[in-house]
Structure 1
Amino acid sequence: MQMQASRTEADALSALDMTPEELKVYESLLERPGSTPAEVVVASGIPVVQVRRLLSALENQGLVTRSPERIARYHAVAPEVAFGALVALRQSGLKAALTMAERLAKIRPTSCGDRGDELTVELITGRAALLRTICQFYDMAKHEIMEFDRPPYLNSYESHSATHLSMQDRHVHCRTICDTSKLDWPGGAQHIQDCLAAGEEQRLYEGVPIKAAIIDRRMALVPLHLKAPIDSGLLLRPSLLLDTLCAYFDIVWELSVPVGADGDLGATAGRSDSANLEQLAALLASGLKDHVIASRLQISERTFERRVALLQKRLKATTRFQAGWNAALRMKKNSTKR
């Protein structure tokens, strides 16, 4: 570890309002993830009272996380997340900080890789720490973000829209798989329309089991609990677990029902009967329940049954199951042709 910061790093520390001692503690945690305060004292040579104060300051800045054990263990937040987000917020004043972040990012793989204990999954506990990580996480997206979305929602839709606003400015492509139960959640259908209007892709799937966000297929955030999604979560880095989550998203995306470009699943005025029946076939093939389909098509149950009967006739099916099966085969065939 360098004993004295270079001129470039001194400029970065000044822009970040970070002291050389805080940087020294942060570097020691990059080299030795999961260290206790006593272990940080040994690694850094800084007195224990000062180390505890520095760890607290770094945690408040969102640069380190602390485990909930009786004797806390500390982990440095990935440099590309912690520093990259700050640079994105202070582009003009923190250009030097990005250089420092890139240097720090090279420490962890080298030092941890030799011991074979590099963290690929990081537990983040505490609402404040998780909310900071979420903001940093979305700011790091460069090309694409993929999301699993489902109720319950503890925050307003406006906070979600604000989080995605910066991604739109950076031309980050966003795809979201929404559980169909969102349609019955207050404001859920309108929020889907708002996301579509903002240029995001939305699809519906019945039975989305988790909430999750994946950026550039290189990092993911997964809440540990649906009922308290902002109390604790997992940060996934490149690993087999992350690859599996990405593959699962790809599979469910293909099975999901695309939401129309106008953001309205139920608008049928001005469409031909063929278009209406094609939309009905897609919804039936997705496995949505009758009342959900009728609600989204904004038709009565009687009209719904009449259209299903007409669809069965056109697909030469004697049962609704057969109609759904034939529709699914036809959709798969058309998709293969494209």
Structure 2
Amino acid sequence: MEAMLEVLGIDPESESVYAALLSGRPVTLDDLVRTAGLPPARVRVALRRLQSSGLVGRRHGRPATYIAIDPEVALDGLLLNRQDELHKARLRAGEFTERFRRAAATRDPAEVIEIITGTDAVQQRSDQMVRNVRHQLRVFDKPPYHDGGLDPNQAELDLLNRGVTVRAVYDAASIDIPGRQKLVRMWAEAGEEARVLADVPTKMGLVDDRLAMLPLRAGSGPDPSPSFVVLHRSAVLDALSALFEALWAVAQPLRTQDAAGDDPQALSERDQLLVSLLTAGLPDEAIARQADLSYRTLQRRVRALMERAGASTRFQLGIHAAANGWVTGVKPRTSVSGGDE
């Protein structure tokens, strides 16, 4: 039986002994040894703990017998005591927080910034920050990745399981890594809200409105000894929060479900060619010639593709195409330059 009363200070062995007493009839020590499957000495220790917690009563006699106190009475009493302790702890934590903030208002501005160096130290600080999110985690996701970008990110899954809001803006290159779309789909199914941009400015994590973590310098490849900066409450943190919200507003929703509309094979070969030429930046006249379509038909097909992608601009259509593999393996029939009008 799974132990659930440790939060009330009842260890698993004591809980199993208490469960064995719930028949409501007095039982002897020997009865409990047989029922709980524990040595006599450990059953005696468990009984003493249960008696001191007010969960078990003892009846004297030969032999002595034990009986469970009504859980509605006994456990409610423990719960009330623990709630009172938690309330006092919250008040104390509030006092400490206020003292810290008063001190922070007068400290050197340099103390608002932490510099973390080294792969292990960066990972440890990142995990610590993520696991302490209270309300919302906001992320800019951008290569390169020290783990190749294929870490399942259990810390985020735990957050989502707790009901914490997670919003991520992915760089288009980040979801083009083989095997990564499967992970992005898994996070989305767990509750992550995801959008994509052609070029995210930096990788970054924002914990509530309290902390931000981002690389100290950008690099084209994994740094063997990376340096990250952690920012505490400050005007800089407010600016990073505003930057995230501004880019979130213009980013394209990332559709990761295995729907027919997002399956590259669901596009006709001609529509795949259209998307490929559109994302290459060719003018409409050249695209119409390449696809062997009239100008009016081209416009109609492009509008249909935009509706299918949920895009209001061609730029958003290009982002959706890159994110969902619509142009994979499609080549123009001939080499066409922007001057062919």
**TM-score (norm. length: structure 2):** 0.51
Whether the 8 Å CA contact 1:177–1:203 is kept in 2: the answer is yes
* Equivalent-residue separation in structure 1 for 2:189 and 2:323 (angstroms): 22
Counterpart in the other structure of 1:278: 307
Matches within 5 A, 1:28-107: 103-107=95-99
Structure 2 CA distance, aligned partners of 1:302 and 1:115?
A: 61
| 1:185-208 C-alpha deviation (Å, 9 max, x unpaired) | 222222222221221111110111
For the pair 1:213 / 2:205, whether they are aligned, the reply is yes
Mapped partners of 1:154, 1:292: distance in 2: 23
Q: Secondary structure at the match of 2:233?
A: coil
2:74 corresponds to:
none
The gaps in structure 1 that reach 5 residues or longer are 1-93, 304-338
Instruction: Give, in whole Å, the separation in 2 of the partners of 1:120 and 1:229.
Output: 26
Do the aligned partners of 1:267 and 1:298 also contact (CA within 8 Å) in 2?
Answer: no
Of 254, 262, 266 in structure 1, the residue corresponding to residue 262 of structure 2 is 266
Q: Give the aligned partner of residue 204 of structure 1.
A: 196
- Counterparts of 1:163 and 1:114 in 2: how far apart (Å)? 34
Structure 1 residues 300 and 294: alpha-carbon distance in aligned structure 2, compared to 1, 3 A threshold: farther
Question: 1:196 touches 1:202 (CA, 8 Å); kept in 2?
Answer: yes
Name 1:128's counterpart in structure 2. Answer: 120
1:119 is paired with a residue whose SS is helix
**Cα distance per residue 1:237-293 (max 9 Å; x no partner):** 12111111111111111211112262667327789x876441357273237379837
Q: Does 1:109 align with 2:101?
A: yes
> Counterpart of 1:266 in structure 2: which amino acid?
D
SS class of match (1:207):
coil
* Pair 127,256 (structure 1): closer, same or farther in 2 beyond 3 Å: same
1:282-321 correspondence runs (5 A): 282=311, 284-286=314-316, 288=318, 292=322, 295-296=325-326, 300-301=330-331
Alignment check: 8 A CA contact 1:203 1:258 kept: yes
State the distance in 1 between where 2:249 and 2:318 align.
15
After the TM superposition, which segments of 4 or more aligned residues of structure 1 sit over 6 Å from their partners? 94-100, 268-271
Aligned CA-pair RMSD: 4.1
Q: How many residues align?
A: 215
CA distance in 2, matches of 1:248, 1:158: 27
Return closer, same or farther for 1:270/1:174 CA change in 2, 3 Å cut-off: same
Verify the 8 A CA contact 2:116 2:229 in the aligned structure 1. Answer: yes
Structure 2: any 5+ residue segments left out of the alignment? 1-84, 268-300, 334-341
The residue that corresponds to 1:320 in the other structure is none
Structure 1 residues 299 and 114, CA gap change in structure 2 (3 angstroms) = closer
Once the two structures are TM-superposed, the CA of residue 100 in structure 1 deviates from its matched residue by 6.7
* Counterpart among 123, 134, 146 of residue 138 in structure 2: 146
- State yes or no: 1:119 paired with 2:111: yes
Q: Is the 8 A contact 2:114 2:229 kept in 1?
A: yes
Match of 1:246 among 231, 236, 241: 241
Distance in 2, matches of 1:276 and 1:289, equals 12
Measured in 1, the distance between the counterparts of 2:310 and 2:255 equals 14
The structure having more radius of gyration, on CA atoms, is: 2
CA deviations on 1:153-207 (whole Å, 9 max, x unpaired) are 1125564421212101210111111111123222222222222122111111011
Deviations 1:191-240 (A, max 9, x none): 22222122111111011120001121221111224433973211111211
- Distance in 2 of aligned mates of 1:98 and 1:128: 32
Shift of 1:113: 2.9
Q: Distance in 1 between matches of 2:124 and 2:90?
A: 19
Following superposition of structure 1 onto structure 2, how do residues 165-180 of structure 1 map, counting pairs within 5 Å?
Answer: 165-180=157-172
Contact 2:140 2:203 in 1 (8 A): yes
TM-score by length of structure 1 reads 0.52
The one-letter amino acid of 2:254's match is: V
* Percent of residue pairs identical: 24
Match of 1:256 among 232, 240, 251: 251
